[in-house]
A = this chain, B = another copy of it.
Amino acid sequence: MDYNLLSTPPKCLADFNLVPIGTGEASIAEELAEVERLLKHTGVKHTMQTTGTVLEGTWDEVVNAIGKAHAAVHQRGVAKVQSEIRIGTKNR
């Protein structure tokens, strides 16, 4: 296989759950509101559910949006952020 020709998948469906660590607050509602605002700003299709946020788009769009969500939560002063991401792709 010529790995140089590989590009990331054109479509994916992901569900991620972001956890701020070391905030001193059991509620993470403020951080999730920040993530929601960031996702709206990015324009990536998303739906917030009980235990995670579902994203749809190209692989690059989706993982970039989650990376920026980490950055946004760090900007609020949170020292560590962890996400758990389920991500699925299909053959064209």
Contacts and interface: CB of A to CB of B under 8 A. Distances in A.
Quickly give the copy total for this chain. 4
Where chain A touches its partner, the secondary structure class is mixed
A24 B24 contact: yes
A9 B81 CA distance: 11
A71 to B, nearest CB: 5
Contacts of A91: 74, 77-80
Contacts of A14: 51
Interface residues of A, number: 61
Interface in A12-56: 12-15, 17, 19-28, 34, 37-38, 41-42, 47, 49-52, 54
Interface of A: 1, 3, 6-9, 12-15, 17, 19-28, 34, 37-38, 41-42, 47, 49-52, 54, 59-60, 63-64, 66-68, 70-72, 74-92
